[in-house]
Amino acid sequence: MSSKAEEEFKPHPNMVQLYRIYLGLAVLPLVVAGLLVTWGVSVVEPSLAYIPAAVFFVPVVVAVCFVLYWSSRYFESIAYRLTQDEVVVDRGVWWKVRSTVPYSRVMAVETLQGPISRRLGIATLDVYTAGYTGVSGGSGGPRARRAEASFIHIPNFVDLRERVLSIVRGRPLFGAAGSEIGAEMLSELRRMRELLEKTKPG
């Protein structure tokens, strides 16, 4: 990765190929089942063979066309940015979503890579912050909850993880605001201690 103050990049084009592989794996059993049912009906009553053919194949064709269209549009909608202070993820075909995570709040960065993604040379990098429970809730750790920001289907996931972590290690937790709060608390504790010492008997 370069050393620019702000970097913008996208997922790898293999993301679209990955989604189409998933689509093929999901559709194949339906096609096989549709062919078997259609063949069975055609043996018993050939004039009714069009019914199971329509029931199985029309929805499959519609779903395949939709996913082929959507996967390309979704890929184009995604943009990742590393600014001086935060990571930013933009995505969404119809509903636009922007996830922004300041480096000062990052507590964990994890990579996720399935067997097909591994063959395609891509992985997802998830960014978590302190105390965030996401939609799953609870305290089961990052794997049990949703990430605040995800760099999905990127090829340089190891380099990006190290880059984000190197920036995070160089910053105080919760940033300057957190440092100011900590200083105020310390000052207040000192005042309380002075008051207690003054009120001690003898």
Q: Which residue has the higher pLDDT, 195 or 106?
A: 106
Dump pLDDT digits (tens) for 76-133.
Answer: 999 999 988 888 999 999 999 898 988 888 888 888 999 999 999 999 999 988 755 4
- Both 31 and 61 in one domain: the answer is yes
- Both 72 and 86 in one domain: the answer is no
Asked whether residue 137 carries a pLDDT value surpassing 50, the answer given is no
Counting every residue written for the chain, the total comes to 202
Of 83, 113, 110, 109, the closest CA to residue 98 belongs to 83
- Both 105 and 18 in one domain: the answer is no
Give the pLDDT mean for 29-33: 85
Last residue of a domain, one of 40, 61, 76: 76
The domain containing residue 130 runs over which residues?
77-177
Three-class secondary structure of residue 96 per DSSP: coil
Dump pLDDT digits (tens) for 75-91.
Answer: 999 999 998 888 899 99
- Both 34 and 119 in one domain: the answer is no
* Residue 72 token pair: 């390309």
Q: What distance, in Å, lies between the first and last C-alpha atoms of the chain?
A: 66
- Both 84 and 142 in one domain: the answer is yes
Rounded to whole angstroms, the Cα distance separating 2 from 159 reads 11
Domain with residue 141: its CATH number is 2.30.29
- Residue recorded with tokens 């559709």: 27
SS3 content of the chain, % helix, strand, coil (to 5): 55, 20, 25
- Both 160 and 170 in one domain: the answer is yes
- 96 belongs to a structural domain: yes
* Percent of the chain surpassing pLDDT 90: 28
Rounded to whole angstroms, the Cα distance separating 142 from 132 reads 9
- Both 101 and 124 in one domain: the answer is yes
- Both 83 and 164 in one domain: the answer is yes
Q: Which residues contact 139 (CB under 8 A, 6 or more apart)?
A: 133
- 5 belongs to a structural domain: no
- Both 184 and 159 in one domain: the answer is no
* Residue 4 token pair: 């620019």
- Both 132 and 170 in one domain: the answer is yes
Of 121, 116, 153, 131, the closest CA to residue 26 belongs to 116
Last residue of a domain, one of 51, 76, 101: 76
Give the pLDDT mean for 159-183: 69
Q: How many domains does the chain have?
A: 3
- Both 93 and 163 in one domain: the answer is yes
- 43 belongs to a structural domain: yes
Three-class secondary structure of residue 106 per DSSP: strand
Give the pLDDT mean for 190-196: 73
Give the pLDDT mean for 48-67: 82
